[in-house]
Amino acid sequence: MSIPLSHLKGKSLGVFGLARSGLATVKAAVSGGARVYAWDNREDARAKAAGEGVTLQEPGEWPWEELAALALAPGVPLTHPEPHPIVGMARGAGVEILCDAELLFRELEGKARFVAITGTNGKSTTTALIGHLLGEAGIAVEVGGNIGRSALDLAAPSASEPVSGSFPEQIYVLELSSYQLDLCHRLRPNVAVWLNLTPDHLDRHGDMAGYRHAKERIFAKMGGDDLAVLGIDETDMEEVAVALSERAQAPRLARVTVRERDAADIRVDEAGQMTDARNGERLNLSAFPSLRGRHNWQNAACAYAAVRELGVPVSIITEGMASFPGLEHRMQIVGRHGKVLFVDDSKATNADAAAPALATFQPVYWIVGGRPKAGGIHGLSGFFPRVAKAYLIGEAADEFSATLAARVPHVIAGELARAVRMAAEDAALDPEDEPVVLLSPAAASFDQFPDFEARGRAFVAAVNALDDASAQQAALSESAS
């Protein structure tokens, strides 16, 4: 499935990088009638594109004078640490460099509505939640970009003409990384969400100023008919909001805080109560099981602002947030064994990523470890009082044991399945109402698993095995009686 890029009919397009987004771009451009020249340094990637009607040539052999644009894979360096050689070729030939999300917008401008989401943290959850809420409202919605399916792998609108003189029901919800935003030039979302800004990807953007500038591109083409939703809990984000409000032809703003910032329009207090000062609407975000923790309250409040702008009533938002399953391996509730809750946070591959889960649950029976990263778990010491016991796995076990020594009761479990069994037994004896067995490894998975997804699936399998064992024990007890 791909959206034919009919606006490129009869034109030539260069595509560099033939992974997920690049291959979708090739298919969309060819089906739209474009001539496509493409390359990837990996032979297996070129093989996947070989049967798609594309000319596979090294970029030095491309007819640059004919190219309308270069679709560049977001992972290819545009500016730092230094531009990839193909960037110099394109600039020397005066060829525009863009990405698949930009091509999607150019194809469907005026034929669909767009919601764009970015931020250092939380953008995948917020993107998925917005898509879920729109779907619950009965709106035709496609979700992709930096999450799940690439932008040009999404379904085309069901109608080619605007409905009722405005937009059709089709809405595209796109998660956009800073890499992608660097390659967007005309993209104008009807609603754009920028959650937060903390140091990340500085090797690709040079410094925080470069990183912030890339993110700011999400609002660049928006005007007074559009809504910009901003989390303002970092000083940089407060500055972005002020600068945006002072801009000529600025979009309308919905400023969100979970830290009691004065300038906010939408506030979430420390108990999870959300209040929209613009209309008096309220939501109890703490009532939604898959949206626990202050960081998820920010995600939920921003998603609320986005879908209210698109006409979704509060009653459906409430029902939709209650039914939202969460994202796999991101603080995902995967089971309950008696009073013990089991949470899969396998995506937390470093200490910073593990912090939100440790801040959310208590008491925690923490399964932690894998292949350690720089700094280990020293940065999580503030959360150690919330940990009833830790179960150490993988290569990091000895290092993490030294960090936890005399501070957190712990045991070296070695293997994940053994850690689950041990943690479940200990948590069942905890006097609290809802002890939590939490897989939040704060380490890479590659010592024992091919990726964090495989680690998360192994955790779920181990939790399910507890249920199987309990069922077998119950059956034996019944037959004995």
* SS3 category, 66: helix
Say whether 121 counts as a known binding-site residue: yes
Q: What is the residue type of 430?
A: D
Task: Report d(CA 221, CA 230) in Å as an integer.
Answer: 16
* 403 assigned ligand-binding residue: no
Is residue 81 reached through a cis peptide bond, with omega within 30 degrees of 0 on the bond before it?
yes
Give yes or no for a contact between 338 and 412, defined as CB atoms under 8 angstroms apart. Answer: no
The answer to the question of whether 124 is labelled as a binding residue is: yes
Q: Is 120 annotated as a binding residue?
A: yes
Distance between CA atoms of residues 125 and 298, nearest Å: 11
337 three-class SS: strand
What is the C-alpha to C-alpha distance for residues 46 and 50, in angstroms, rounded to an integer?
6
End-to-end Cα spacing for the chain: 58
| Annotated binding-site residue? 122 | yes
Q: Is the dihedral of CA 134, 135, 139, 144 positive or negative?
A: positive
Strand 266-268 to strand 273-276: parallel, antiparallel, or no bridges (unpaired)?
A: antiparallel
Strand pairing class (191-194; 227-231)? parallel
Side chain identity at residue 177, one-letter code? S
Residue pair 442/380 in contact by the 8 Å Cβ criterion: yes
Which residue ranges are tagged as binding site for ATP? 119-125
Annotated binding-site members? 119-125
